[in-house]
């Protein structure tokens, strides 16, 4: 599930009381979205954001920004860090009973406003590599959990926060056009495999991964440099048969490796035949 917002206690209570019907897919969404205006794909809204708006960068503080795997990768490379270094310095991994999978949350500055570490007087200092959630705001997209025989479809919502004065101004947008303008479509294509993992039917009925597989998920999704070492410095390539030319791509191309990591997780977590085991590896296992 993808979203980024911080709510007051009263807002949380209000949202938790809403939409009780179990047949309504909105019930499966985070409470942060349940009382937000839902957008049809072609429904329009007006919005602008630039230094001339008096609230500029106010949204860059006191907010929970959940990072996607591609966010972590691109920000780490932007800052000249390994993915492990970036995760250690700039993220938190909250542990709650409601999370079936670990997430990486951007660590805010330890100042009064809890500001983003990447915001400066003129705005975002990592703008070209800004996170998915920052690109999407004020639009939110969520994918309900898998249901038996039903392919989850994205749902769009509009945040209309009091602190944001860009609403009702500037161009008219739809959720689809906004995603295209903010460079989200290309990113989502790269992370399609991530969506397939986190919304996998295996989780129907509340099933949860054991700690070993949770660590596997976290490493493959977020700590790509460690995952690369796993591929090239273990018996991995002796055990699995990869497509011609793929090995060198995985060695040099981060985004190819990320796509492959999602394939690997479907094999390792859900026993899908997304990777071919070499015959002699089968024999050793037998």
Closest CA relative to residue 75, chosen from 36, 34, 43, 118:
118
Question: Which pLDDT value is given to residue 165?
Answer: 96
Structural contact between residues 102 and 217, judged by C-beta atoms closer than 8 angstroms: yes
Q: What's the pLDDT score for residue 40?
A: 85
- Give the pLDDT mean for 189-208: 91
The pLDDT value given to residue 154: 82
Read off the pTM.
Answer: 0.84
Of the ranges 17-21, 169-173, 181-185, which one carries the lowest mean pLDDT score?
17-21
Going from N- to C-terminal start, the domains of the chain cover: 9-198, 209-285
Could you give the count of Cα atoms lying within 13 Å of 230 in the half-sphere of its Cβ?
A: 15
Q: Which residue has the higher pLDDT, 99 or 172?
A: 172
Mean pLDDT of the chain: 86
Question: Looking up tokens 């479809």, which residue turns up?
Answer: 153
Task: Tell whether the model's pLDDT for residue 152 goes beyond 50.
Answer: yes
Q: Taking residues 22-39, report their average pLDDT.
A: 60
What CA–CA distance (Å, rounded) separates 19 from 15?
A: 8
- Assign 30 a pLDDT band (cuts: 50, 70, 90): low
Tokens of 26: 């909105």
Identify the residue with better confidence: 99 or 253.
253
Q: Which carries the bigger pLDDT value, residue 212 or residue 10? A: 212
Band of pLDDT at residue 143, cut at 50, 70 and 90 = confident
pLDDT at 17: 41
12 contacts 31 by C-beta, under 8 angstroms: yes
Q: Give the pairing type, strands 240-241 and 37-39.
A: unpaired
CA distance 244 to 250: 12
Residue 222 and residue 68 in contact, taking contact as beta carbons nearer than 8 Å: no
Backbone angles phi, psi at 47, to 5 degrees: -160, 145
Q: What percent of the chain has pLDDT over 70?
A: 81
Q: Give pLDDT, residue 34.
A: 65
- Asked if pLDDT for residue 23 goes beyond 70, the answer is no
pLDDT band at 267 (very low <50, low <70, confident <90, very high): very high
CB atoms near residue 8 (< 10 Å): 8
User: Residue 67 above 60 pLDDT?
Assistant: yes
* Higher pLDDT pick, 77 / 13: 77
Residue bearing the bigger pLDDT, 3 or 155:
155
Say yes or no to pLDDT of 283 above 60. Answer: no
CA 285 – CA 129 distance, rounded (Å): 43
Assess contact for 210 and 250: CB atoms under 8 A. no
Look at phi and psi of residue 57 and say left if phi exceeds 0, alpha if psi is from -120 to 50, else beta: left
- Cβ–Cβ under 8 Å, residues 259 and 187: no
CB-based contact 221:194 (threshold 8 Å): yes
Give yes or no for residue 5 having a pLDDT over 90: no
The runs of H, that is alpha helices, within the chain are 9-16, 31-34, 69-78, 83-90, 132-136, 175-181, 184-190, 192-198, 211-222, 224-233, 236-239, 246-252, 254-270, 279-285
């Amino acid at each position: 599930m993808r979203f980024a917002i911080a709510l007051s206690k009263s807002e949380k209570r209000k949202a938790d009381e809403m939409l009780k019907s179990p047949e309504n897919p909105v019930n499966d969404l985070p409470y942060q979205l349940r009382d937000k205006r839902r957008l049809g794909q072609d429904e329009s809204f007006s919005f602008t954001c630039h230094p001339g708006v008096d609230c500029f960068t106010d949204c860059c503080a006191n907010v929970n920004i959940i990072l996607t795997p591609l966010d972590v990768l691109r920000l780490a490379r932007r800052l000249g860090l390994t993915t492990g270094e970036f995760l250690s310095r700039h993220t938190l991994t909250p542990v709650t009973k409601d999370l079936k999978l670990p997430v990486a949350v951007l660590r805010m500055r330890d100042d009064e406003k809890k500001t983003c570490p990447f915001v400066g007087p003129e705005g975002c200092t990592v703008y070209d590599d800004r996170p998915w959630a920052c690109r999407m705001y004020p639009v939110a997209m969520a994918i309900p959990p898998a249901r038996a025989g039903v392919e989850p479809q994205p749902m769009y919502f509009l945040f209309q926060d009091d602190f944001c004065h860009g609403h009702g101004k500037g161009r008219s947008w739809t959720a689809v056009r906004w995603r295209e303008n903010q460079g989200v479509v290309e990113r989502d294509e790269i992370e399609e495999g991530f969506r397939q993992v986190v919304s996998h039917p295996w989780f129907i009925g509340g099933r949860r991964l054991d700690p070993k597989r949770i660590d596997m998920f976290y490493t493959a999704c977020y700590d790509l440099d460690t995952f690369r070492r796993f591929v090239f410095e273990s018996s991995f390539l002796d055990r699995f048969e990869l497509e011609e030319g793929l090995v060198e791509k995985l060695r040099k191309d981060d985004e190819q490796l990320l796509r492959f990591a999602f394939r690997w997780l479907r094999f390792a977590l859900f026993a899908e035949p997304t990777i071919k085991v070499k015959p002699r590896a089968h024999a050793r296992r037998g």
